[in-house]
Amino acid sequence: MDSMDRPVTWSAPGKVIICGEHFVVYGVTAIAAALDKRAYCTVSPRDDSVIRISSKQVGAAEWRDGELVKESSKGVGNRLNAYHKMVSAILASHDRRKGVNVVIDSQIPRALGLGSSASIAVATAGALLDLLNVSFEPDDLAQHALIAESEVHYRPSGIDPAVTTLGGIIRFKRGVKPVRLEPPAPLELLVIETGKTKRTSEMVRKVAQFRELHIGIFDKLMELVDVVSQEVELAILNNRLERLGSLLTVNHNVLRIIGVSTPELDDVVDASISSGAYGAKLTGGGGGGTVIAVASSQNLKRIYEVLQRSYSVRRVRLPQEGVRRESSPVIV
């Protein structure tokens, strides 16, 4: 059976940024890791020119010749349009004149700083290129995903598609090939969701405004965060959890200075540390979202039990696998 005659399914993980978010946009080194929750995408061919994208979480929309022609409810087309633009660009670059059906099922909560949009984009790009019988490298998927990410986020750095493609724990610097770090032992994080969502693009603009007002201060903070990222990498590679936790807290305090933390996020960081964690920080865009915390293996279970009384908490073991081909299709 020709590959264009059958559906193809790929999946990609969510992510956390361990340190360096926001500053990574301006060239600072950041460290990020893939998570255990994944986004799944199945792509199948059509005989007409329609691109239909359906999501279990959002709804469905159809485009013909670049125009939205149908949506399951008002606003769905707008929410899925970033992926439509990416799919259209990939089809056009490979001279594919017929449409496709794209079916998405994401386990990753939206707007909580966990890389939902990048995971969907990477999984979709992988499934579509596979369907088209195109050979590709991981970096190709990350580059295609940036088409969608540029629609979803204001000035994306590229770190989200990079880590969701490669998996594991990576060092990322804009314009430089990402490097996957290999810790001597698995690392376990607590991932604590505040439940409050916020658009990353709003926070990126807020940071840009802070930079304009305080360029000298911002430049010094960039130098500091770059050093923190270097120290975080060493702590991970040497399995020094206490040092890693302390560095997370330093990075969180810098993020507070530039205005992307919130009282809710600060409360979670404080609760994590007072419960026995070595340190904690917001992860992702801020303004709401998620906190990560590091603790000793002896204390991790007790801290988890304390925090889950007030928050949605998960224990995540790192490293996790990156983008991959799946055997079972997504069905909506």
Query: Is 160 in the active site?
Result: yes
Q: What angle do CA 236, 286, 179 make, to 5 degrees?
A: 35
Other Cβ atoms closer than 10 A to 312: 14
Residues 6+ apart with CB under 8 A from 176: none
Which two tokens mark 176? 């430089």
Phi-psi region of 111 (alpha: psi -120 to 50; beta: other; left: phi over 0): left
| DSSP 8-state assignment for residue 167 | B
Q: 130, 160, 219, 226: which one is catalytic?
A: 160
Task: Take residue 5 and report the two structure tokens written for it.
Answer: 């005659």
Residues contacting residue 218 through CB under 8 Å, at least 6 positions apart: 210, 211, 258
Q: How far apart are CA 40 and CA 196, in angstroms?
A: 24
CB 111 within 8 A of CB 32: no
**What backbone phi and psi angles, to 5 degrees, belong to 119?**
-65, -45
Catalytic site positions: 160
